[in-house]
Amino acid sequence: MENQTEVGEFILLGLTNLQELQCFLFTLFLLLYMASVLGNGAIMAVVLAEPRLHTPMHFFLGNLSCLDICYSTVTMPKMLAGFLLKHQIISFTSCLVQLHFFHFLGSSEAVLLAVMAYDRYVAICNPLRYRLVMSTQVCLLLAAATWSSGFLHALMHTVMTSQLHFCGPNHVHHFFCDIKPLLSLACSSTRLNLSLLNIITGGIVIGPFILTLLSYLYVIYFLLTE
């Protein structure tokens, strides 16, 4: 391994090689990206500007809109540039940064959805204690825990991926740097990386999903039995 040259950059192959689709896909995804940014930006602006919306529900909604804007911005500009350029080159460092923020924002959003489901559960099932349970301090703590858990989860994958050796092909069969396409290009063992990806990332996805499902099932049960 020491005698092999380390890869310093990758080539993102994008969504398709068909030239006749490039302009159509560029226009389509540009419109979708603009709609996402403008829509979520409008939600954030209204929540900040209107005092009557300074409630726990709208506080978390503002966090979700911020996450959506950042999440799409991690990949969309690079993908849009890929439709206009024949080869989309990204350095190894930039690739790791993109990977980190993609998983940071994605896992944070998954956790935030579970927090929002809990907020609705308290509001519907315990309306008299809602202000006490979902106080300002609790909301800030839940938001901080959401962003922190996503950051630490992404940091783990970023550090583990940075320790791999890439000495062979550098063509990434994707429109952004994700873990699995990169692992397929590594020259060193990726067993630990795959184990962490399956176990911890699976837990980040399945855990909030189960909590969200249970919250809404309990809400439905509460409404049907009252």
- Under 8 Å between Cβ of 163 and 155: no
- Under 8 Å between Cβ of 108 and 151: yes
- Under 8 Å between Cβ of 12 and 81: no
Question: The pTM is what?
Answer: 0.88
Write out the two tokens for 210.
């189960």
pLDDT tens digits, one per residue of 128-165 = 899 999 999 999 999 999 999 999 999 999 999 998 88
pLDDT tens digits, one per residue of 92-129 = 899 999 999 999 999 999 999 999 999 999 999 988 89
**Cross-strand pairs, 30:** none
